[in-house]
């Protein structure tokens, strides 16, 4: 059994980006998609997926994740920009993690097949970059997904409509990685 941690980006106290037009915080989108991913992963008898929420602050999040002994970690986020027309899908991984890079490549490609947004690529980050701290200090291969921009109203409409398909695609990427 492979233990897969699905980290819900941000928290009820620190909600992340905000879309004023839709009155929508990033944490809500992250939570909904993370639950869909958990459901999709549960369909594979070889997986034990579980959600991880930030309860003890950002600095303690890597330790909280590591204590759950995951084999793979997926952190769910949604991008944002002051330019409301920016679209695209990207996946972050820690720059020294070849396993993270492999996982990021597979999941990114699967997400693109479903969403058909611009490919913003996989991005190698270090501990000083956005998302890099958690990617650096977790023990298992970890990626941080940014399926679409929540600042783009049309992207949110399309992305949320495809949440179930997106979650299944992420599962397929994980399955390919574990082959």
Q: What is the pLDDT of residue 129?
A: 86
- The CATH classification number of 2-177 equals 3.40.630.40
Q: What is the pLDDT of residue 61?
A: 95
Residue carrying structure tokens 């940014």: 146
Domain positions in the chain are 2-177
E-state strands within the chain: 2-8, 18-19, 24-25, 47-53, 72-76, 89-94, 119-125, 142-146
Q: What is the pLDDT of residue 56?
A: 87
Residue 9 CA to residue 120 CA, distance in Å, equals 20
User: For the chain (length 179 residues), average pLDDT per consecutive 10?
Assistant: 98 93 96 99 98 93 96 98 94 98 99 98 93 95 98 95 98 97
Q: What is the pLDDT of residue 128?
A: 87
Q: What is the pLDDT of residue 156?
A: 96
What residues pair up with 91 in beta bridges, in sequence order? 122, 145
DSSP string, 104-146: HHHHHHHHHHHH---EEEEEEE-TTSTTHHHHHH-SS-EEEEE
Q: Which two tokens stand for residue 77?
A: 């986020």
Cα-to-chain-centroid distance, residue 11: 14
Which is it for the CA torsion 163, 169, 172, 174, positive or negative? negative
């Amino acid at each position: 059994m492979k233990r897969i941690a699905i980290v819900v980006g941000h928290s009820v106290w620190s909600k992340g980006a905000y879309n004023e037009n839709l009155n929508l915080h990033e944490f809500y989108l992250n939570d909904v998609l993370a639950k869909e991913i958990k459901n999709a992963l549960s369909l594979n008898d070889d997986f034990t997926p579980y959600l991880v929420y930030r309860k003890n602050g950002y600095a303690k999040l890597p330790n909280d994740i590591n204590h759950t002994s995951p084999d793979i970690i997926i952190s769910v986020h949604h991008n944002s920009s002051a330019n409301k027309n920016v679209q695209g899908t990207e996946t972050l991984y820690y720059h020294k993690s070849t396993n993270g890079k492999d996982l990021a490549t597979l999941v990114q490609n699967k997400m693109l097949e479903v969403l058909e947004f611009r490919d913003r690529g996989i991005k190698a980050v270090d501990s000083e970059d956005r998302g890099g701290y958690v990617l650096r200090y977790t023990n298992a291969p970890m990626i941080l997904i940014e399926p679409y921009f929540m600042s783009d109203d049309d992207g949110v409409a399309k992305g949320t409509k495809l949440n179930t398909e997106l979650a299944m695609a992420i599962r397929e990427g994980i399955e390919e990685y574990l082959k």
